[in-house]
Chain A
Amino acid sequence: MARMDLISFKGLRLDGRRANELRQIRCKMGVFSQPDGSAYLEQGNTKVLAAVYGPHEIRGSRSKALHDKALVNCQYSMATFSTGERKRRPRGDRKSQEMSMHLRQAFQAAIRVEVYPRSQIDIFVEVLQADGGNYCACVNAATLALVDAGIPMTEYVVACTASLANGDVPLVDVSNLEENSGGPNLTVAALPLSGQVALMEMSQRFHLDHLPKVVECALQGCRDIHQILDQAVRRHTEMSGSALGWGNRAQVDL
């Protein structure tokens, strides 16, 4: 397969971005009324819906209940029309189960589970359109949904991908085309303010000398996304607050 140049000679990628530019992120919180918290997030062409139910009593076997913590249960599901080739089963295959486990790992690092012993928090993510960075969009959407549900977290969990082009230029937020072109992919889920990494996954290969700069590129991407998500949360809170009449806007200290 002929390898496309991921970054052109003028420094532009396949979709016209620069090496350190993120795709356009648009989001909305409180999309549905039934779940306790819900959010919709678009990162470029990747569209994801997240819903959070909880904390509520453990469903199913009571033996799974933890006496001092809440159980975090995640499900990753892709719509059958989300990918270019139609997907036969939306969930239940190995890839979806692996993604669900990774989501759980990322969120257990940030949710204050000790506040709700013997209960369960459900996070359901549905990918409507997959165009690269599916896991990251899911993590970001789920963070917004958790904020919408009012579940206490130590920090936002933000995820971002990074790759390496032409052997030495780090790229942030890779799209599907760039992922499939054979270059290495690094996915990082981090708590941006404290700089802690909750999940890191890498595929393909590159030289160990390049690893620190690719990781730093992904972490910087996480910090940038964190700013965008934070602004969205503040906007949403201001709007819902002013609708409920929370007093003078000047006095609200956000």
Chain B
Amino acid sequence: MYNRGFRCDGRMRLDYRPMEVETDVVSHASGSARLRLANTDILVGVKTEIDTPYPERPREGKIEFFVDCSANATPAFEGRGGEELGTEISNSLATAYQSSQTFDLTALCILPGQQCWKLYIDILILECGGNLFDAVSLAVKAALHNTRVPKVKGACLDGGTVDLQLSDDPYDCCRLDVSDAPCLVTLCKIGDHCVVDPTAEEETCSSGSVVIAITEKSLVTSVFKTGVGSFHPQTLIDILKVGQTIGLSVNKALRAALLEEEQQGRKKECFGFLK
């Protein structure tokens, strides 16, 4: 069946499953998003904190990713069972966001060399239905889009330490520019062909997959291979070309969905998990 381009659930090789995204689900966080890609359910919360910048990069803020695989997804993740998978995903996100052209860290600077914003991006994996990398990266992009960083109104120097005054108005904040944030696209090799958006069953019967981090401007920020199989160099180049086109359309679709949600403004009904 794969040779004719069909998959078990009737999709073509390069089709994604239906996706739902909703932002502003957790009110305690500065920004949040929930993404549902068929069975895969991801919840991302972004928290902002004031921190000192690295000495070699005094004009840049910091971001830190933390992935928590909840036991809700499978009992094997109880206790510290999901730590390995969580570390793999957070490291891949950190590599994807490392380039200065993806996420402008200078926007997070408050006082060069002394104070900057640190964004803690916490990802909670609630259900695993395959294709975790893609779902996580899309949810992170949506949550960053929703993040509201409070504005700094004033600063006073008190004997070497800086005391910042933040604006009291909860609506007085600045948004982050995520137009260049990358999305990860997983291409899974099954037999001789590669498929996009594998389900959990397809992942178990694949020999390996390639994950590409790609931005809306067609910039590839990271590529890595997961799984135990090996690829011929020509297959790898073909996969990358396919991944590039898919990545562009996924990025555009997410942007359109986020803009549509934002246009609903105050009238938007908050469903969260109730729907």
Contact = CB atoms under 8 A, between A and B. Distances in A.
Interface of A: 26, 28, 31-35, 38, 40, 42, 45, 47, 49, 51, 53, 59, 73, 75, 77, 79-84, 86, 90-92, 122, 124, 126, 128-131
Contacts, number: 97
A77 B70 CA distance: 8
Query: Which of A31, A34, A42, A75 has most B Cβ within 10 Å?
Result: A34
A124 B273 contact: no
A52 to B, nearest CB: 10
A90 B179 CA distance: 31
Interface in B94-130: 120, 122, 124, 126-129
B242 interface: no
B39 interface: yes
Contacts of B124: 79, 126, 128
B39 A33 contact: yes
A124 B78 contact: yes
B75 interface: yes
A84 B49 CA distance: 11
Contacts of A38: 72
A143 to B, nearest CB: 16
Interface string B209-221: 0000000000000
Contact of A53 (B29, B68, B75, B126): B75
B126 A28 contact: no
B72 A51 contact: yes
B26 interface: yes
A81 B72 contact: no
A45 B27 contact: yes
Contacts of B178: none
A160 to B, nearest CB: 22
Nearest to B66: A80
Nearest to B41: A32
Nearest to A56: B75
A40 B68 contact: no
B274 A124 contact: no
Query: Which of B46, B128, B272, B273 has most A Cβ within 10 Å?
Result: B273
B149 interface: no
Interface in B247-274: 272-274
A131 B27 CA distance: 11
Given A40-B273, A59-B75, A126-B72, A32 B28 contact: no
Interface in B12-52: 26-29, 32, 39, 41, 43, 45-47, 49
A53 B71 CA distance: 10
Contacts of A77: 68, 70-71
A26 B275 CA distance: 11
A26 B129 CA distance: 26
Contacts of A45: 27
B80 interface: yes
28 contacts: A26-B274, A28-B275, A32-B41, A32-B72, A33-B39, A34-B127, A34-B128, A45-B27, A75-B79, A77-B70, A79-B26, A79-B45, A79-B124, A80-B68, A80-B120, A80-B122, A81-B26, A81-B45, A81-B122, A86-B120, A91-B79, A122-B75, A124-B70, A126-B70, A126-B72, A126-B124, A126-B126, A131-B28
A122 B32 CA distance: 28
Contacts of B127: 32-34
Contacts of B79: 75, 91-92
A251 B29 CA distance: 48
Contacts of B74: 34
Contact of B126 (A42, A49, A75, A86): A49
Given A38-B72, A90-B68, A129-B28, A81 B47 contact: yes
B274 A81 contact: no
A124 B120 contact: no
A77 B79 CA distance: 9
Contacts of A42: 272, 274
B65 to A, nearest CB: 11
B88 to A, nearest CB: 17
Query: Which of B46, B66, B71, B272 has most A Cβ within 10 Å?
Result: B71
A84 B30 CA distance: 10
